[in-house]
Structure 1
Amino acid sequence: MKIISWNCRGLGNPWAVRALNKLLKQQAPNLVFLMETRRKTDELNRIRNRGRMGNIAGIDCEGDGRSRAGGLAVMWDSSIVLEVSSMSLNHIDMRVKVAEAGQQWRVTGFYGNSDAANKQKSWDLLSSLGKSQNMPWLVFGDFNQILEQKEKTGGLSVSYSQMKGFQEVLQMNQLLDLGFVGHSFTWTNNRPGEMNIQERLDRAIATIDWKEAFPETIVRHLQRYKSDHCPLLIDVTGQENKRRRKRPNIFRFEEMWLQNQECKEKASQRNKRNRIERITDDAGILFEDEEKIEEIIVNFYEDLFKTEGTMEEEQVAAVVGGRVS
């Protein structure tokens, strides 16, 4: 089973909808939790259908037009049986059963208050949800808070008092961080150079009995899609990780890409052994992880050649013979 959790920062623009459709197509999740949709739930039905999600539930955004804010939604496919227990502007609490395996547990999509003055309300809500805990419990979302100072780079340091409330509510409910694979931070202010700030605001946490039931779970920080938050991919059974170990991906650099100026700039980062050891994404964030490098480059050229149209046959013939692997 695969779960996507994403603060999409509004689905009112075509580019945001395309980004979500692309995410659903690439990752094929069974359950999707969206925050800050800035849409009414019934307006998301078209996205649900395109993503092959048979069901949807959620909380409508507040306001109208340009003043829209908030909004939560959860979509799921026919492979799971899902029952919504409670909802608010900051959470959707659910009971999930995987049809084939017969396993049942509790799942909560959580959206923390971003306003410092209201953060305690978030921890009170999480604590209240924890009181009714009677089965393995998984919680994920944008908590709008870091747990420790190393989860932030740039800007002012976060005081201990700001982190204390989050730390205490996790301890009280015996919720453990599931860790992650990928870039260290899930949010950026999208500003360049020394003004750039990044934080790990999105995460997945779970009770001990949930971790014991699903020990192979992998949480991945995916590439950001037109939002200041990256999506989380929670692979409950670790199937994606097993497939990666069995059949490693080989990235091949096509010489025809050099016809594009942006490609030349990307390729200039290669060393003499034709290995790309580091690369920056659209936000200027530097990555050195091989899987992340592959993901950024593949997505870059998929978008590039979908939008620029086709090359003339003579141009293709002139370069198609060369390949560096």
Structure 2
Amino acid sequence: MKHLAWNCRGLGNPRTVRELHLLVKEKSPDIIFLSETKCRRERIEKIRDKLKYACSFSVDSRGRSGGLAFLWKEGVEADLDSYSQSHISLLINASNSSLKRTLTGFYGQPIKGKRNESWDQLRLIHSRIQTPWLCMGDFNEIMYQDEQFGFGTRPFKQMEEFRLALVDCGLMDTSFIGSIFTWCNKREGLDLTKSRLDRALINEDWANLFDINQTHVLPGQCSDHNPLLIQSVNSEVVPKRRLFRYEVAWSNREGCKELIKEVWRQRILERTKLKDTRARLEGCREKLQAWSKEAFRT
């Protein structure tokens, strides 16, 4: 199953809606979570129909801020579990299993002084969870200092409180492919700041349910946040793809070694070294495939 999570920074802009439409056309996610929609239910439903999705549930914005929405395809059985101004939780009924799953779209408090309210909310959601759980969205916080680049540093206590909340909730990061940073202030020079504010988190039951849980950080244009594509699949249902082989001649081309080093330096949080290595190799495969097409274009 594929999930798309995106802080779109407002769906009143036609360019943003077009970008969302292109994302859906290219990635075909089963379920979409949007935060900071800055609109009301009627607007969400029009966009849902334009995207040809069957169902939706939304939380209206307050004035020109906030707003959350879930959209899902026909064939996905989903029931509303709980919601607030900062989250929506759905109970998903898998078609090939009697086991239900909880899917939460989350939006962390943008105001630093109220950030602990978000972690209390997350703990409250966790207290209801008795199923495999995927929690995705914009948490407005980083876990470690190397998840931020640019001016200023995050107070240790601020990051520690986020980490403690995740420990209390039994949540862990999925592996990811792409940039470690998911938000950028789009400034230049010394004013440039980038952070990893958006992520997908799973509990142990969800990790045991799927062989592969991977987050792809996608490029974005209209928002200052990157969309996330979260894939949860089992090996037997992974679509067949062309066998990838590393060519020795590539090492003589400029950029190949640097690309591999960049992937290997990325923080990938897996429960075992084997899964960590597999995630890094998968990242190298995808990067090298794209690089080789450009490097050897005739």
User: Given the two structures, how large is their TM-score scaled by the length of structure 2?
Assistant: 0.81
2: CA distance, partners of 1:295 / 1:19? 22
CA displacement at 1:225 relative to structure 2: 3.3
- SS of 2:6 mapped into structure 1: strand
The one of 110, 115, 125 aligned to 1:114: 110
2: CA distance, partners of 1:245 / 1:11? 35
CA RMSD in angstroms, aligned pairs only:
3.2
* 1:127 to 2:123 alignment: yes
Match of 2:65 in 1: 69
| Unpaired runs of at least 5, structure 1 | 249-271, 280-287, 299-322
Report matched runs for 1:68-217 at 5 Å.
68-217=64-213
Deviation sequence 1:251-304 (CA, Å, 0-9, x none):
xxxxxxxxxxxxxxxxxxxxx96989999xxxxxxxx978469879x9xxxxxx
1: CA distance, partners of 2:132 / 2:105? 15
| Unpaired runs of at least 5, structure 2 | 245-251, 260-282
CA displacement at 1:139 relative to structure 2: 0.6
- SS of 1:85 mapped into structure 2: strand
Determine which structure has more spread, i.e. the larger CA radius of gyration.
1
Deviation sequence 1:155-210 (CA, Å, 0-9, x none):
11111111111111111111111131111110000001221111000011111111
1:175–1:55: structure 2 CA closer, same or farther, 3 Å change rule? Answer: same
1:294–1:9: structure 2 CA closer, same or farther, 3 Å change rule? Answer: farther
- SS of 2:186 mapped into structure 1: coil
* Contact 1:92 1:110 survives alignment (8 Å): yes
2: CA distance, partners of 1:192 / 1:293? 29
Match of 2:21 in 1: 21
Match of 2:9 in 1: 9
1: CA distance, partners of 2:15 / 2:290? 19
Fraction of identical pairs, as percent? 34
2: CA distance, partners of 1:246 / 1:50? 33
1:235–1:38: structure 2 CA closer, same or farther, 3 Å change rule? Answer: same
The one of 237, 241, 244 aligned to 2:233: 237
2: CA distance, partners of 1:244 / 1:278? 29
Match of 2:45 in 1: 45
1:293–1:142: structure 2 CA closer, same or farther, 3 Å change rule? Answer: farther
